[in-house]
């Protein structure tokens, strides 16, 4: 029996063929690109693998050098790092790509291409995941291709995880967003979903997808021993904890992180930089989910951010550099000012990959240190102060006992433990805020942290940024509102 499948891509796919279509069609759906009328096992597995691609830092995934559309690379580094108090656009300020400066200073409009870029990447990822889910939940298709039940379950779990991951990014940047849960088979369907669903509804879908992913993914550290980059059960549990964190469900955070720890798969690496080193990829114990960049592939799959690093982009702020305590080795592992090198993004403690637009360094999305600090935050909010401080001290201990870039251990007395006797919730929160900043700098966490803590306006205004209350959500890309004929509405204040 043959089952006919039409694939209707999201707007970003149209950009591959016609930049004019990008400005005409309504978000969410779009023109019928009928492919795969008779899917094979290869078609189905490829549909899942391609769903990961929109997490990559590879250059020009959606079109060629469209700076005007904000799609040259994934914009997390702009909308999360540069928007925060950690990262400047360039080492030497200039007028190059001034739209980035508008984001940095919070003097942007809804037409700024940074928002279009992130929206395009996330919805393209969702479109691909939806197609994979449609294949894998169609009994006629799975029977025809003869897919093994365990492989089907694993691939379906990965697709659910990825859809949840993309929607989590969208809801935290834009609030209420269109909810697309299947491939669209007509323009009527397309226009029907071109409307915003409430943040609560989107979060409910994220939670449902993650619950299914956790059940379907195998109970091993790696879902596939030969492709260790694939989403795992640990990644799904970690995302459940993060969803709970962002919704201030503190006991759920503790429960999920405890479940993750009980798997026994993850521990803090003895050396902090093992998380980021190209030489240690998938040979360490802390990273829970990362995008696996690889050089020399066709199509290209390298880390393109190494190129803008050589063009003078992505530099630390004075505020970020000043946050580190004396002899904290994490500073030089993150960025070396003398070489204008962001080691975390390069994947090496030298400049060997700087300027390489096809570099092998992975993009780290979730690692255990981040997760443990979520648990510390939850404990603090629940009044379990000593346990919160114990976890903060675990992160500090790893930093002071690991070797530095120079190969030496920090001097005795560096990064002393915080007092576990403290019952001052505000003081412990301040310790946590500091530790997250120095531990996770340049990992696209800081801006979301400032927002969810409700201190973004206070912190960013103090360093001269024009952050207003409306900026707790970014604007819906104006082009998407126009393409929907106004059925997609704008966030307040834009």
Residue 97 lies in a domain: yes
Residue 156 CB partners (closer than 8 Å, separation 6+): 132, 133, 136, 137, 212, 216
> So what's the pLDDT on residue 36?
63
**Residue found by looking up tokens 């531990």 in the block:** 439
Question: d(Cα 196, Cα 373) in Å, to the nearest integer?
Answer: 33
Specify if 336 maps to a domain.
no
Q: Length of the chain, please? A: 494
Note whether residue 382 is domain-resident.
no
Query: What CATH number is attached to the domain comprising 193?
Result: 1.25.40.390
What's residue 175's pLDDT? 98
Q: Let me know if residue 283 belongs to a domain.
A: no
Residue by residue, DSSP assigns 425-484 as: HHHHHHHHHHHHHHHHTTSS-HHHHHHHTT-HHHHHHHTT----GGGGSPPPPHHHHHHT
Contact 76, 157 (CB under 8 A): no
Query: What is the domain extent for residue 14?
Result: 1-217
Q: For residue 127, which of 53, 229, 39 has the smallest C-alpha distance?
A: 53
| Two structure tokens written together for 422 | 């403290």
Task: Decide if 103 is inside a domain.
Answer: yes
| Burial environment of residue 262 by CB neighbours within 10 A (0 to 12, 13 to 18, 19 or more) | exposed
Residue 224 forms part of a structural domain: no
Retrieve residue 168's tokens: 């989590």
CA contacts within 13 A on the Cβ side of 430: 9
Per-residue b/e over 402-436, b at no fewer than 16 CB within 10 Å? bebeeeeebeeebbeebeeeeeeeeebbebbbebb
Within 13 Å and on the Cβ side, how many CA atoms surround 196? 20
Q: Does residue 363 lie within any of the structural domains? A: no
Could you tell me the pTM of the whole model? 0.94
Number of domains in the chain: 1
Task: Report the pLDDT value the prediction gives residue 11, as an integer from 0 to 100.
Answer: 38
Cα end-to-end span (Å), the chain: 52
pLDDT in 10s for each residue of the chain, 494 residues: 333 333 333 333 333 222 333 334 544 443 344 346 789 999 999 999 999 999 999 999 999 999 999 999 999 999 999 999 999 999 999 999 999 999 999 999 999 999 999 999 999 999 999 999 999 999 999 999 999 999 999 999 999 999 999 999 999 999 999 999 999 877 788 788 999 999 999 999 999 999 999 999 999 999 999 999 999 999 999 999 999 999 999 999 999 999 999 999 999 999 999 999 999 999 999 999 999 999 999 999 999 999 999 999 999 999 999 999 999 999 999 999 999 999 999 999 999 999 999 999 999 999 999 999 999 999 999 999 999 999 999 999 999 999 999 999 999 999 999 999 999 999 999 999 999 999 999 999 999 999 999 999 999 999 999 999 999 999 999 999 999 999 999 999 99
Rg of the chain (C-alpha set): 22
Task: Please check whether residue 293 lies inside any domain of the structure.
Answer: no
**Burial (CB count within 10 angstroms: exposed 0-12, middle 13-18, buried 19+), residue 310:** middle
């Amino acid at each position: 029996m043959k089952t006919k499948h039409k694939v209707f891509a999201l707007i970003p796919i149209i950009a591959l063929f016609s930049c004019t279509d990008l400005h005409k069609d309504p978000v969410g759906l779009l023109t019928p690109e009928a492919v795969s009328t008779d899917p094979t096992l290869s078609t189905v597995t490829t549909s899942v693998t391609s769903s990961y691609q929109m997490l990559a830092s590879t250059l020009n995934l959606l079109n060629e050098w469209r700076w005007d559309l904000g799609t040259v690379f994934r914009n997390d580094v702009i909308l999360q790092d540069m928007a925060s108090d950690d990262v400047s656009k360039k080492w030497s300020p200039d007028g190059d790509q001034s739209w980035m400066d508008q984001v940095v200073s919070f003097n942007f409009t809804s037409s700024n291409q940074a928002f279009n870029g992130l929206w395009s990447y996330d919805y393209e990822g969702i479109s691909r995941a939806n197609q994979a889910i449609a294949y894998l939940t169609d009994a006629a298709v799975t029977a025809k291709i003869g897919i093994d039940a365990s492989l089907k379950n694993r691939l379906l779990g990965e697709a659910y995880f990825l859809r949840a991951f993309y929607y989590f990014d969208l809801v935290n940047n834009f609030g209420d967003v269109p909810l697309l849960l299947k491939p669209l088979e007509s323009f009527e369907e397309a226009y029907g979903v071109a409307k915003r669903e409430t943040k609560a509804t989107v979060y409910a879908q994220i939670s449902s997808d993650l619950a299914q992913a956790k059940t379907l993914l195998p109970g091993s550290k790696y879902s596939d021993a030969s492709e260790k980059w694939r989403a795992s059960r640990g990644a799904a549990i970690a995302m459940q904890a993060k969803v709970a964190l962002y919704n201030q469900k503190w006991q759920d955070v503790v429960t999920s992180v405890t479940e993750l720890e009980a798997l026994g798969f993850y521990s803090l690496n003895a050396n902090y930089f093992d998380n980021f080193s190209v030489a240690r990829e998938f040979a360490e114990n802390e990273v829970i989910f990362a995008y696996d960049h690889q050089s020399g592939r066709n199509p290209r799959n390298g880390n393109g951010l190494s190129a803008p690093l050589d063009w003078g982009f992505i530099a630390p702020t004075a505020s970020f550099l000043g946050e580190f305590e004396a002899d904290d080795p994490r500073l030089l592992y993150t960025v070396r000012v003398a070489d204008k090198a962001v080691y975390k993004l390069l994947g090496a403690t030298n400049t060997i990959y700087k300027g390489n637009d096809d570099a092998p360094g992975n993009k780290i999305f979730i690692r255990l240190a981040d997760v443990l600090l979520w648990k510390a935050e939850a404990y603090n909010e629940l009044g379990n102060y000593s346990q919160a401080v114990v976890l903060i001290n675990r992160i500090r201990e790893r930093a002071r006992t690991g070797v530095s870039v120079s190969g030496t251990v920090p001097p005795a007395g560096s990064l002393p433990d915080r007092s576990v006797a403290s019952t001052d919730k505000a003081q412990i929160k301040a310790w946590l805020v500091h530790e997250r900043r120095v531990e996770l700098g340049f990992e696209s966490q800081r801006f979301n942290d400032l927002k969810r803590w409700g201190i973004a306006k206070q912190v960013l205004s103090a360093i001269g940024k024009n952050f207003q209350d409306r900026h707790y959500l970014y604007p819906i890309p104006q082009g998407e509102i126009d393409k929907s004929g106004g059925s997609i509405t704008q966030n307040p204040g834009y």
